[in-house]
Structure 1
Amino acid sequence: MTDKIRTRILNIHNELRSLVARGLARNGTQGYAPKASAMYKLKYDCKLEELAMSHAKTCVYGHRPNSERPNIGENIYTLLVPGSDRTMNGEWATVDWFYELKRYGVFADNRFTGALNTRPNTVVGHYTQVFFEQQKLLLKDS
């Protein structure tokens, strides 16, 4: 992973998070998601990158058990485009996760609850990992 890739992926995350923070993100058929009250600008954490890269090298498609990553959220994305650009891969994953909000929406109070997490065919778990307010650090594996 190069610094150029890290910077671009971090910037796209923060640009999209800014839309959420300002109340400009489409929320399914409900208009716009509410403004965030405490949306942090993400910082890149190379130690998290190391954890993700070690998991990716196992070639196991699935989330690691919570016990292996305490207090660390995890998103997984597969893109099968031979010879694709790693920067673009990271952008596509981020934008796709963001569009879960537009496709499926969240409740008007913008809270992550069991009811939100278990709605059939309307999963927004990737979106909530990246775009809910309290996230502060970013790592992406493209």
Structure 2
Amino acid sequence: MAMRIITGYLLVVLGFSLSHSQGIYYPELPCSSNNLFYDLVRLKALQTHNILRTQLANGKQRNGLTTEFFPMASNMSLLKYDCELEKIARNISKLCLKDSAHDFEHVGSNNAIFELEYDSISPEIDVSESVNYLVKRWWYAGEINAPLKNLTPTSKDTLLIPFLQMANAATTSLGCAFTVCKNGGVRPFVSFVCQYGEPHVSVNVPIYKEGAPCSYCNNKCVFGSLCKYTSF
């Protein structure tokens, strides 16, 4: 099902308005399915990432538990959706892990869980309504922990990894998936995972270049703040 067919419906469901300043766009997702709510999960995950990256690129993102903001980004890339990364994310989500330790030796994905009601009629609907919240939980790691210094992670910044993976300008693609996990009589829960394309975040490597938005990519700029390095 092509995304252009349901765009009008998506505008209502997502509560978004078309605005280049917010980094909103409505692509045809290459792995869209015949299940509207799976498509909504894909689109909302992608849109939320790009909106937050736009916010960061424009210097409007607070840096940790301070009153300071991150500097503007000259090379923050627009993320595209990748079906192969979605497959990796799905395999991780099937592990149904409730806890994961942050480690710079094992980066590339973010995961989150939330519990379902026993009488949930449609887990897909529950997930589609929760995607924005789950993705923003990762992003808030950049606000509720110690600030990142000089845009460069150190080995002590493990708590920032969820945010760093979302804010890494070198990453140009992602794919997300979820699994409904059932464990005997325990309340079922959803394992939601986003897998990011390489290169991944790394110690001693800045997450982006400081400068006026898009000044590093010139004519490849979209929405006035993100660099469009890939085709869609």
Q: In structure 2, what is the Cα distance between the partners aligned to 1:131 and 1:139?
A: 15
**Deviation (angstroms), 1:33:** 1.2
What is the rounded CA distance, in whole Å, between the counterparts of 1:72 and 1:48 in structure 2? 14
Which structure is higher in RCO with an 8 Å CA cutoff and minimum separation 6? 1
Q: CA deviation at 1:104?
A: 1.4
Distance 2:81 2:169 in 1: 16
| Distance 1:81-1:52 versus aligned 2 partners, 3 A rule | same
Distance 1:101 1:72 in 2: 16
Whether contact under 8 Å (1:37, 1:133) holds in the other structure is no
Asked if the contact 1:5–1:86 (Cα under 8 Å) also holds between the matched residues in 2, the reply is yes
- Identity over aligned pairs, percent: 26
Deviation (angstroms), 1:37? 2.4
Partner of 2:78: 41
Counterpart-to-counterpart distance in 2, 1:19 and 1:105: 20
Counterpart in 2 of 1:94?
A: 135
Give the C-alpha shift of residue 2 in structure 1: 2.2
Per-residue CA shift, 1:65-93, capped at 9, x if unaligned?
Answer: xxxxxx97111111113336212332112
Q: What is aligned with 2:95? A: 58
CA distance in 1, matches of 2:141, 2:95: 27
Q: CA deviation at 1:105?
A: 4.3
Aligned twin of 2:55: 19
Q: Write the mapping of 1:1-142 to structure 2, written as runs, cut at 5 A.
A: 2-27=38-63, 28-61=65-98, 73-82=108-117, 83=120, 85-117=126-158, 123-141=159-177, 142=192
The structure that is helix-richer by fraction is: 1
What amino acid sits opposite 1:43 in the alignment? K
Structure 2 CA distance for aligned equivalents of residues 124 and 29 of structure 1: 15
Q: Distance in 1 between matches of 2:116 and 2:69?
A: 33
Give, in angstroms, the shift of residue 30 of structure 1. Answer: 3.8
CA distance in 1, matches of 2:107, 2:156: 22
2:61–2:69 Cα contact (<8 Å) kept: yes
Higher Rg? 2
Matched residue SS, 2:53: helix
Give the structure with the larger strand fraction.
2
Alignment root-mean-square deviation, CA: 2.5
Cα shift readout 1:8-29 (whole Å, capped 9, x = no counterpart) = 1111110011111111011121
The Cα shift of 1:54 comes to 1.8
TM-fit CA distance, 1:38: 1.1
User: In the aligned structure 2, how far is the partner of 1:109 from the partner of 1:7?
Assistant: 32
Structure 1 segments, 4+ long, off by >3 Å, are: 60-63
Count the aligned residue pairs: 132
Quote how far apart the aligned CAs of 1:32 are.
0.7
TM-score normalized by structure 1?
0.79
